[in-house]
Amino acid sequence: MSAKIKLPKLLHLLLLYIIHTTSWTAAAAATSSFSQFQLINRGFSVTPSQSPFQPILNEPSGVFSLGFLKVGSSQLDLAVIHLPSRQPVWRAIPASPGSWDNSVTFSFNGSLVLSDSGNGVLWSTGSVDGDTLVLLNSSNLQIQKAGKPAASVLWQSFDFPSDTIMQGQNFTSKAALFSNNQKFSMSLGFDYLALYMEFPGVAAPRYWKRTALQAKARIIQGKGPIYARVNPTGFLGLYQTEAVPVDVISFDTFNRGIPDLRRLTLESDGNLKAYYWNGSSWVLDFKAIPDSEACQLLSACGAYGLCRLEDPMCACLDNTTAICPPADSGNLCSSGRGSSSSVGGDDYTVFRTKGVELPNKELAGYHKVGSLEECEQSCERNCSCWGAVYNNVSGFCYSIDYPIQTLVEAGNVQKTGYFKVRTRASSKSKSKSKAGMVVLLTVGVLVFLAATGFGAYRVWNQIRRRSQDGLDESTVEWPYKDLKSGSSFRSIELSESFRK
């Protein structure tokens, strides 16, 4: 598995590194040549010219800026950036992303609109009729309507978070947080906060849940939904009314007098992390799923992965192979070719593994059955079911109704897993295009290296060091690995397209 798998990974790392280092230095030098505003009136419009970040609107303290942000290799988004760290704290994330090649226009006509000459409106705040667009020093972008005694707020970015909530921002039950790669989400329930993994067309499985302890205040039905807010003293509070929180999730620096800015981010590995800004970097202050429970991250070891708290952490559920089946999506219900292994659905093969259990199985649904056969049959007959885990002591049968992710090694053999793998018809053409892509990438990278000359040695050095740090030795797929936790500007689109 080594050479074949490592090459794309190295290329990928290389590309990430190149994008990371080259672009920002250029931007810093050029920033001053752009008009930046502290308030935008109706009728304003601007088009992008400076990658990777072109400030449009600043706030008075100079910490945050709204502007065009380059994402991945060529895509464009609208983002609010924490300037000292270049960390995006809010992004518009249009359904179809803008491109630096097309003529994208940012305009404010009462609503904020991002449009492109080919596709029309890419993203907008919906039709509101404001007078000014302002960026507050909390990083909140607001469309305001002049009025007495004070301007009213018609729209604010704090109500539409992307992957981060900032200190002071209310996270309500109307909002959801999505990780940068859009694979994970966070939302509030009646009395809890939870993390989910997203699959198109499938009910999102929950893999972390914090039920409000209600120690100092109880949640009262009919008094409105709860909301969450990061407090400057170092905790995530769940509130129903402002008076007293119904729960306090404290960070490491809780009440330690850290004066600066805090944020809470749903990372691309599915973990929820809090950070504070110490003046030169974001310092990790809280992890919803601590390292000692790393296997409880639903995709800790990727699709069809097996996670254990020893070295190496990851393997394949099917121990006869070193390369796990590729990540799948949807269900197995679409076509009915009617072979013996598909009952009114797609073709699949089956394998079984002893000694595994679901991560956070207390959050998973189960039904009680009399035997392993009964458990397997209930899954076999149902094309929404991707697998099942049976515990022959309790008789519990856990059905996995989403494409198989990582399962956790269980000490005892009483737990048996049954897993379906879709039978792929045209894997030949797929690997062909993959090879083509690797060649293309290689050529691109070589050209770049030739052009930079000097940078090359540093890059390779960096990669060597990273590999030695152990980043490159498991079967973990790239998007699941938190490459530079807490750092700015992760190249999401790039890693996404690379996987295909």
Ligand X SMILES: *[C@@H]1O[C@H](CO)[C@@H](O)[C@H](O)[C@H]1NC(C)=O
How far apart CA 115 and CA 113 sit, in angstroms, is: 6
495 binds ligand X (CB under 6 A): no
Of residues 113 and 324, the one with the C-beta less far from ligand X: 113
Of 113, 195, 266, 303, the residue at the interface with ligand X (CB under 6 A) is 113
Nearest alpha carbon to residue 299 among 405, 220, 411: 405
Binders of ligand X among residues 250 to 279 (CB under 6 A) are 278-279
- Distance in Å, CB of 53 to ligand X, minimum: 22
41 binds ligand X (CB under 6 A): no
Of 202, 283, 343, 471, the residue at the interface with ligand X (CB under 6 A) is 283
Of 25, 33, 35, 280, the residue at the interface with ligand X (CB under 6 A) is 280
* Contact indicator for 36, 56 with CB cutoff of 8 Å: yes
Of 65, 85, 87, 111, the residue at the interface with ligand X (CB under 6 A) is 111
Pattern 48-87, binding to ligand X, x per CB under 6 A? -------------x--------------------------
Cis peptide before 94 (omega within 30 of 0): no
Q: Which stretch binds ligand X (CB under 6 A): 17-25, 165-173, 432-440, 466-474?
A: 165-173
Of residues 134 and 459, the one with the C-beta less far from ligand X: 134
Of residues 281 and 427, the one with the C-beta less far from ligand X: 281
Nearest alpha carbon to residue 205 among 410, 407, 13: 407
Over the range 217-256, which residues count as b (16 or more CB within 10 Å of their CB) and which as e?
A: bebeeeeeebbbbbbebbbbbbbbeeeebbbbbbbebeee
3-class secondary-structure state, position 306: strand
Pattern 168-187, binding to ligand X, x per CB under 6 A? xxx-----------------
User: Residue 199 contacts by C-beta under 8 Å, 6 or more apart in sequence?
Assistant: 329, 330, 402, 403
Of 392, 423, 467, 485, the residue at the interface with ligand X (CB under 6 A) is 392
Binders of ligand X among residues 217 to 246 (CB under 6 A) are 242
Nearest alpha carbon to residue 348 among 359, 334, 360: 334
- Please state, as a whole number, how many other Cβ atoms lie within 10 Å of the Cβ of residue 91: 22
Nearest alpha carbon to residue 87 among 112, 69, 114, 105: 69
* Contact indicator for 97, 117 with CB cutoff of 8 Å: no
Pattern 347-386, binding to ligand X, x per CB under 6 A? ------xx---------------------------x-xx-
121 binds ligand X (CB under 6 A): yes
Of residues 218 and 354, the one with the C-beta less far from ligand X: 354
Binders of ligand X among residues 129 to 148 (CB under 6 A) are 129, 137
Number of residues that bind ligand X (CB under 6 A): 31
3-class secondary-structure state, position 354: strand
Of residues 103 and 278, the one with the C-beta less far from ligand X: 278
Binders of ligand X among residues 304 to 343 (CB under 6 A) are 319
Inter-CA distances, 27 with 80, 360, 441, Å: 16, 44, 25
User: Residue 463 contacts by C-beta under 8 Å, 6 or more apart in sequence?
Assistant: 10, 13, 14, 17
- Please state, as a whole number, how many other Cβ atoms lie within 10 Å of the Cβ of residue 291: 8
Task: Give the binding site for ligand X (CB under 6 A).
Answer: 61, 109-111, 113, 121, 127, 129, 137, 158, 168-170, 242, 278-281, 283, 319, 353-354, 382, 384-385, 392-393, 399, 401, 413-414
